Amino acid sequence: MTVRMFTGACGLALMGAGAWFLLYGPDAQDPWEVAKWLGGFLLVHDGLVVPLTLAAGFAVSRARAARGALRGAFLVAAALTAVALPPLLRPGPPANPSVLPLDYVRNWALCVGATVVAGLSAALACRARGLRQTGAMPELPEVEALAGFLAERLTGRTVERVLPVAVSVLKTYDPPLGAVEGHRVSGVTRHGKFLDLATEGGPHLVVHLARAGWVRWHDRLPDTPPRPGKGPLALRLRLTDGAGFDLTEAGTRKRLAVHCVREAADVPGVARLGPDPLAPGFTLDAFAALLRGERRQLKGVLRDQSVLAGIGNAYSDEILHAARMSPFKPAANLTEEETAALYEALRTTLDDAVERARGHAAADLKAEKKTGLRVHGRTGEPCPVCGDTIREVSFADSSLQYCPTCQTGGKPLADRRLSRLLK
């Protein structure tokens, strides 16, 4: 359920209520009568207020841009509570408004409590979700470490079986996946965020882990064949000695992609890749040449795989924070010194991350990535450099984090989440 669907449903419900009111509502003479009727219509009975408020909170917590919608959810819940309750819970116009009936106070407290609980649970759910989604997507350093991890274990060993468990995972049909079987693995390398498993005399398996994909190594794979359609398992590769790995993908958005190709460059995403920022030939001059004539903002340029291979949402946030530059700064406006500073930040950030990730087992890499990030996925936490509160700007299916003091001269960047929510 997206924010747009949620707000759309709220809007439709309100329109329906309005239409019903015009057709069947009471004579709109006494405003108190009207309010009472509307309150009764919206909530049917005061016993429904608590579950309704909770449901609204959870619906919003499921929404993709949920952190952005949180304030909206509170507004909706609070407005419903405020509008509907007082007339509903008092049997008529209060004889003496300064005296509140006891059950009114009790119900009112229940509703406020429910709103707060709903909001808090939504906030917690969003926080967990945000970390899972933004912190864990493998980028250059993690894929580099994974390639090293797999190369160490696979090189020289022979593939016995490759089983695509999820239907959506295999993106090619020629050569068939089975063509890998019986060949020795000659090496595992990285192209941008792609893993490239090469075989001697056989095809390559090129894997893009996307947002929620991962590799799980087994020294001894289970003997029972995996059952399709159950759990996160997407593909299993077994070596002739019984070891092997599973490719898994959490969540419902199936983006994990496996290509069986003669050459890695046969994968369109690999063919499109720009230079690798950690390649020895990637000098300051090469970087400056890439930015020349670039009309976009830095955040977009850094993430564009056809400009630079391997940098995603997390490390572009980290690089811009290290370079003390706004994500929205136009690339064309960089002076020579700023270009040099950005280049330095890029190399240092990625080198450090690769250094941290190297040697970690596949299972530990995600946690390792999270602890190394200084601003990305850390909205509301203090900046480790200056102590200012890290802020975020969210988009349809992602968000960026930055430190106002370090990066934007103390000015918060415009975040149009609320206006989008109300669209």
List all residues 6 or more positions away from 388 whose beta carbon is below 8 Å from its beta carbon: 382, 403, 404, 405, 406, 410
Site track for Zn ion across 245-284, x = CB under 5 A: ----------------------------------------
Which residue, among 330, 264, 333, has the nearest Cα to 302 in the 3D structure? Answer: 330
Choose the binding region for Zn ion from 22-30, 260-268, 330-338, 400-408 (rule: CB under 5 A).
Answer: 400-408
Asked whether position 405 contacts Zn ion by CB under 5 A, the answer is yes
Asked whether position 186 contacts Zn ion by CB under 5 A, the answer is no
Asked whether position 412 contacts Zn ion by CB under 5 A, the answer is no
Q: What is the CA radius of gyration of the chain?
A: 27
Q: Which residue type does 287 have?
A: F
Q: Tokens for 148?
A: 């090293």
Asked whether position 325 contacts Zn ion by CB under 5 A, the answer is no
Choose the binding region for Zn ion from 71-79, 128-136, 224-232, 398-406 (rule: CB under 5 A).
Answer: 398-406
Q: How far apart are CA 183 and CA 177, in angstroms?
A: 12
Asked whether position 383 contacts Zn ion by CB under 5 A, the answer is yes
Answer for the pair 172, 351: CB distance below 8 angstroms, yes or no: no
Nearer to Zn ion, 197 or 383 (CB): 383
Q: At closest approach, how far in Å is the CB of 136 from Zn ion?
A: 24
Q: At closest approach, how far in Å is the CB of 375 from Zn ion?
A: 8
Positive/negative CA dihedral, 85, 91, 96, 102: negative
Q: Of 77, 345, 403, 421, which one interacts with Zn ion (CB under 5 A)?
A: 403
CA distances, 258 to each of 36, 166, 207, 208 (Å): 60, 11, 5, 7
Choose the binding region for Zn ion from 85-93, 137-145, 146-154, 401-409 (rule: CB under 5 A).
Answer: 401-409
- What are 185's strand-pairing partners? 199
Which residue, among 269, 270, 210, 220, has the nearest Cα to 246 in the 3D structure? Answer: 220
Asked whether position 323 contacts Zn ion by CB under 5 A, the answer is no
Q: How far apart are CA 244 and CA 225, in angstroms?
A: 13
Q: At closest approach, how far in Å is the CB of 177 from Zn ion?
A: 48
Q: Tokens for 105?
A: 């106070």
Residues in the interface with Zn ion (CB under 5 A) total: 7
Distance between terminal CA atoms of the chain?
16
Q: At closest approach, how far in Å is the CB of 413 from Zn ion?
A: 14
Q: At closest approach, how far in Å is the CB of 334 from Zn ion?
A: 20
Asked whether position 375 contacts Zn ion by CB under 5 A, the answer is no
Q: At closest approach, how far in Å is the CB of 382 from Zn ion?
A: 8
Q: How far apart are CA 256 and CA 170, in angstroms?
A: 9
Token pair 């493998």 in the structure block, residue = 138
Residue nearest to Zn ion (CB): 383
Site track for Zn ion across 67-96, x = CB under 5 A: ------------------------------
Nearer to Zn ion, 72 or 327 (CB): 327
The string of DSSP letters for 147-215 reads HHHHHHHHTT-BEEEEEE-SGGGB---SS-GGGGTTPBEEEEEEETTEEEEEESSS-EEEEE-TTTEEE
Q: At closest approach, how far in Å is the CB of 385 from Zn ion?
A: 4
Choose the binding region for Zn ion from 4-12, 159-167, 331-339, 403-411 (rule: CB under 5 A).
Answer: 403-411
Choose the binding region for Zn ion from 19-27, 53-61, 250-258, 380-388 (rule: CB under 5 A).
Answer: 380-388
Q: At closest approach, how far in Å is the CB of 410 from Zn ion?
A: 10
Asked whether position 386 contacts Zn ion by CB under 5 A, the answer is yes
Asked whether position 406 contacts Zn ion by CB under 5 A, the answer is yes
Asked whether position 385 contacts Zn ion by CB under 5 A, the answer is yes
Nearer to Zn ion, 26 or 410 (CB): 410
Alpha helices in 283-407 (DSSP H): 284-291, 298-303, 313-323, 336-357, 365-372, 404-407
Residue 64 gets the label, from left (phi > 0), alpha (psi -120 to 50) or beta, of alpha
Q: At closest approach, how far in Å is the CB of 272 from Zn ion?
A: 34
Q: At closest approach, how far in Å is the CB of 354 from Zn ion?
A: 24
Asked whether position 320 contacts Zn ion by CB under 5 A, the answer is no
Which residue, among 298, 250, 267, has the nearest Cα to 192 in the 3D structure? Answer: 267
Kindly list the residues in this chain that would bind Zn ion in the complex (CB under 5 A). Answer: 383, 385-386, 388, 403, 405-406
